[in-house]
Structure 1
Amino acid sequence: MRGVIGAGCCDPKSDEDHDMSEQEDKTKGTLNKVAGEAKDKLGDATDNQDLQNEGKGQKLKGHGQDAKGEAKGALKDKD
């Protein structure tokens, strides 16, 4: 309903929901980076290229989630 005149008065997302979402994105990002690093190192130690690649991909996903959380925070600060 965003963008509709008068929709702001009935928007179910409160500022608290936005804060939670920002923090959730950052938390998920950190968890994915840590898990990805573990998979990357384990794959390297066991000569398992598939596991290593999976770990690298998961780390990239974590960085993306961090960036998403940061962007949400920056947009919230502009309000």
Structure 2
Amino acid sequence: MGIWQAICAAGIWSPVLLPEPLTVGRYLWAAILDGSLAESAWVTSKRLLIATPLGASSVCPWACSRPAAGG
């Protein structure tokens, strides 16, 4: 976290792209308190549970039908 803070203090990147650790911590704490972090985590989990099988099913037929490398 010290390196993270030092990069932020040096102004190498915009705070929009790389906020300071304390800013992130405050945001996460507020999101925990108001319940939005749990809600967002649930939405993300649902998206992953839907998208992962869809992505795998669209790639596997193509990847599984190719001959093995070196053989």
Shorter-chain TM range is: 0.3 to 0.5
TM value normalised by structure 1? 0.38
Higher RCO by CA contacts (8 Å cutoff, separation 6 or greater): 1
Structure-2-length-normalised TM-score: 0.42
Larger radius of gyration: 2
Relative to its length, the structure with more helix (as a share) is 1
